Structure 1
């Protein structure tokens, strides 16, 4: 038995290293902007995350998710609000069961959707923006945390998701928030490499419901997500992927990536050029002045002498002058000697 137990934990450790929070790809990608823009999120409660096939929305053995997904695609041009569909587990505490549809940011749940109801539900709620004529509508309150645990789609979510669910429930209970925060598993939401993937629907600092996506979430981040995102409505930028609604660049929440020296990576400010090139203009370019006056000059225009060249020329001139005087003196001396020697010969 001891050997079996040891073997089990060895496998678990190997899976954690390969698929869990210790895998090499953790924190290797930039998370901001990895959420495609959309404005409404539907969650269809259906079975458990262990039973979902890889493509649960396209599975013939799961007609309800397939019918709803196909219906959304078929009526895409008729639905004015960009809508996303995800499958989730039911929640016993709220008596959420198969066929219940949660709608965010509307904070509404429609009860008991059946295969035969799908077309009418899409027509009433999503196309016409009216209450579902054939179903029961109830208001949702509190915060909803959806954690991707779609093991049959990607093992990384299958390993990370259940651990995060357990940690969230544990911390929520310890903080006395079990009646205010709902945690459940959901199907593929995109970006398995960012696992653990978490979506939190809660009120922001202004009281508006927003759906914030987080990636690379580990159990060590859970307490901070509860304290900051859920209770204060403030995002945690280092693991934030984006949110339902406005694109990332319009939220004003995320700082531009910075270089090691603190310079904004995407800044439009002019950066210093390499030494010796700063401030140089293109050779041969011409600028047009006011009223047609051009500051361009003729190519043959005499260039002004460089600073210091006058003193050099003067020094050279003085040096040449001294050489000439010396030469004249030497010639004069030689001539004098020659004359004196001639007179000496004649006197003899």
Structure 2
């Protein structure tokens, strides 16, 4: 029997790439998205239209919000889901410091609504899209899953992910038939090698790679580097960047584990990262090599909520999911540039359309 999977936030960056890999691995996929972080010029988000072309398969799509209990009830009643992969979230660190209530309502209350619908319809397997931000300011490196969470979270986005993890752990303790894998991933970048789907931030990019891409193609004048006085080799922030296709493979590996004959019991958190860090200036240099373009940048003040260095210990993913990252920073830059060149306006058909 083909497993039917609900993917929340499936029209977003990580969601759309994971939907593609799910389809390619034989899963039946239903996507729910409120289109806050997606472009839609027709009945389906453009990212999913392209996913369907790449996979040569169709995806059932619902435009709905996780806080809409009636919509969730209709969707769950119409399908027989074996598992949910939960991406749907607001995700900009800086914005979360300015709009904390929006982040708590969307991320925490939205997840609560989803869990209540799952419980009502007896769907008790979940793969959750968490974040390395739950670790806060690192007490040691590399960050493994035993590192304390929640104590030093530097922004509401990270705290929202921490609160959700606590909610999931409490649920699994109270109801042992639940199986939840929380994937704490680091910095997703790159794009599908076809150049058909990739990261398409609405407005000014919050993340490094799409901003660098837009500078390279001439949409932005220069990159702002937030601080060069961190205790790192070149003074700029160091992060564990992971290729989006490696990340998508990690979600499918987690799904197969919760649906398999030897599922993990209760709540289990697993890092998805490469295990090595690259500084902002190293990423800029790699992108210049991949694109043949000069990336202009200017150093400005540090950004609220940022930490100096963050990278994963990915050993548990290898042990429990038989997964490890395969692509390096140059691969990530090459695929990000390929996407940007072929889609200067992202998923929009013209510069002015939102």
Q: TM class by shorter-chain length? A: under 0.3
Q: Rg larger in 1 or in 2?
A: 1
- Normalising by structure 1, we get a TM-score of 0.23
Higher relative contact order (CA 8 A, sep 6+): 2
- Normalising by structure 2, we get a TM-score of 0.23
